[in-house]
Amino acid sequence: MRSGRGADYDQAVVDLCGVLAYAELTAFERIAFDARMAPTIGAKAALAGMASAEFHHFRRLREHLHTELGVDAEEAMAPFVKPLDDFHDQTAPADWIESLVKAYVGDGIAVDFYREVAALVDEPTRSLVTEVLADTGHSEFVVEHVKAAIAADPSMAGRLALWARRLVGEALTQAQRVAVDRDDLARLIVGDVGGHVGDLAAVGRMFARLTEAHTRRMASLGLSS
């Protein structure tokens, strides 16, 4: 791919698609794995359907990397394998409800973040990223089940709020590691590549938006953030 916006911009776009592709592949795995803990066949089938949707997203990104950006998907994903695997290893849910909170709260922040970055890149990457980040029906399912679990056992709320804080902390740790390693992607975000005018105030506003959305999600589960 040659965007005409420079090699650093091109690399940032490849990084965005690469991290997102591996994130979708691991989302597939994790949701499929969590389906084993589902209390009913219906819940299990619902999770399996969501996992399949994530896999379909992965396939779209892999195709985009190959045909539009002219790079090998495995290579593009490689730098993000360790941070994403580490994140998931550090935040293995202890039970079904923790897995639902992780899917909703953790993926929620990730999706919001990827959407912010997508706004900084050109078509057709932007459209594709927006498309693969569309909610696969997970959110509604999760909110319903978590609220029902807390209603049945209100003492659960404290544990789940702590769990969500651990998820956010671990996500920030790994994001920081990626930012250090992937210079072009980090500089795209702070507005320092491809002729995009640097604007640290805009980055600050982005973090404020991410935080607000997170607080809203926690509230919708009935949890303090």
Interface with its own copies by CB under 8 A: which residues?
22, 25, 28-29, 32-33, 35-36, 40-42, 44-45, 48-49, 51-52, 55-56, 58-59, 62, 74, 77-78, 81
Nearest to 132 by CA among 3, 19, 48: 19
Nearer CB in complex with its own copies: 29/192 = 29
Nearer CB in complex with its own copies: 79/191 = 79
Q: Rounded to the nearest whole angstrom, what is the least distance from the CB of residue 41 to its own copies in the complex?
A: 5
DSSP secondary structure letter of residue 191: T
Q: Rounded to the nearest whole angstrom, what is the least distance from the CB of residue 16 to its own copies in the complex?
A: 17
Q: Rounded to the nearest whole angstrom, what is the least distance from the CB of residue 28 to its own copies in the complex?
A: 5
At 46, list the tokens.
Answer: 């619902």
Nearer CB in complex with its own copies: 15/112 = 15
Q: Is 155 exposed, middle or buried (0-12, 13-18, 19+ CB in 10 A)?
A: exposed
Q: Which amino acid is at 64?
A: H
Q: Rounded to the nearest whole angstrom, what is the least distance from the CB of residue 56 to its own copies in the complex?
A: 7
Distances from the Cα of 134 to the Cα of 130, 137, 224, angstroms: 7, 9, 26
Nearer CB in complex with its own copies: 6/79 = 79
CA–CA separation, 95 vs 99, rounded Å?
6
